[in-house]
Chain A
Amino acid sequence: MKKQAPFEELAKQLHDLCQPLTALQCRLELGRMCGDEQSLTEAVEGGLVETERLVQGVETMRTWLLRELGRNEDKSRAGERGQ
């Protein structure tokens, strides 16, 4: 059960990434569909906002991953010392 916890957390973070990624894709596609200058400018501006949300999501995942990797390394070292 405990082994599942990191995967559950990973699944949650992936889910959180889906929202800005969908918004980014839809925003760019909408800009292309409309095709006029104003829509394209709005798509780029909005795309940058969504990119910022994505970057924050990636940063959260990276921090979490580094922490988990650190924990695993500590556990392996403790295991080696025990042997």
Chain B
Amino acid sequence: MKVLVVEDDRALGLFLQKGLRLEGHSVDLVGDGDAAVEYAIEHQPDLMVLDLSLPCRDGLEVLAELQGRFARTSVMVLTGRSQVEERIKCLNLGADDCLLKPFSLYELMARCRAILRRKEQFANPVLHFGAVEMDRMNRSVRRDGVEVELTAKEFALLEFMLRRNGDCCTRTELLSDVWKMSPDSGTNVVDVYINYLRRKLAGVHPDGQQSEPVIETVRGEGYRLCGVRKGIRSAPASDALRPNMPRLVA
């Protein structure tokens, strides 16, 4: 999942970013309200972890700005202010949950998992990226509109990669999430199944030419889907650090 941490305390923001990355999320960090709104418009993260006390535009203003515009983005509010009225205000402005400082990183991570779990339950059953479309309701997969038969494991692997929306999936993540295996197990099952998927998803143009590959290798890391994401050209892995983005940490 794509997560944005909005926290002006750089030290705290960095730990939150690191902690949420341990959960397998792709996490960016910005330090003020304006940057948060800008990021949300450009990237529409799955989850925003939002501190209330922020420079430029405070957390409540960010919530008000986002309200109703970004149904895709869930918001977890962090606050050091203990007034119940303020937490109610946040929830009424569209926040999914509030956590009072000081808090435990374990609790924050568990609450984020709960939000994302709920989100997943009500999510659109159809996932698509580039030429690939998956309908999780009727368990079907299509490449350029042509149905592709997948085994249960291949389906689970492709679903994980589609949910990443073009971000890199490491072998460790795939092994632990799809196969429930330890990264130390020394197996190459991920690479084998990626090859199965590549073969099955290798479409053929009507003129007989081979279609663009659907999965590319991120050397030393893992794999990612390639193609076009929601009208935007999918960025290469190295483009993850965008110098023009207002953020504390790239």
A interface residues (Cβ-Cβ under 8 A, vs B): 11, 15-16, 18-19, 21-23, 25-27, 29-30, 33-34, 46, 49-50
With both chains docked as a complex, state the minimum distance between the C-beta of B60 and any C-beta of chain A, in angstroms: 15
Known: A15-B80, A18-B80, A50-B11. A25 touches B103 (CB 8 A): yes
Across the interface, B12 reaches (CB within 8 A) one of A11, A23, A34, namely A23
B81 touches A (CB below 8 Å): yes
The 5 closest A-B pairs by CB, nearest first: A18-B80, A18-B101, A21-B102, A22-B102, A29-B105
Does chain A have a CB within 8 A of B106?
yes
In angstroms, Cα B103 to Cα A21, docked, is 9
A50 to B101: give the CA distance in the assembly, Å.
15
Q: Which of A19, A23, A29 contacts B104 (CB 8 A)?
A: A29
Question: Across the interface, do A15 and B81 meet the contact criterion of CB distance under 8 Å?
Answer: yes
Bound complex: CA A16 to CA B9 (Å): 12
The residue from A19, A25, A34 contacting B9, defined by CB atoms under 8 A apart? A19
CB distance B102 to A30 under 8 Å? no
Complex Cα distance A49/B11, Å? 10
Interface centre among A22, A27, A29, A30 (most CB of B within 10 A): A22
Q: Does B43 interact with chain A (Cβ within 8 Å)?
A: no
Evaluate contact between A23 and B22: CB separation under 8 angstroms: no
Interface members, chain B 211-246 (any A CB < 8 Å): none
Residues of B within 8 A of A22 (CB): 12, 80, 101-103
Instruction: Report Cα–Cα, A41/B87, bound state, in Å.
Output: 36
Which single residue of chain B is at the shortest CB-CB distance from A24? B102
User: Which of A21, A23, A27 has most chain B Cβ within 10 Å?
Assistant: A23
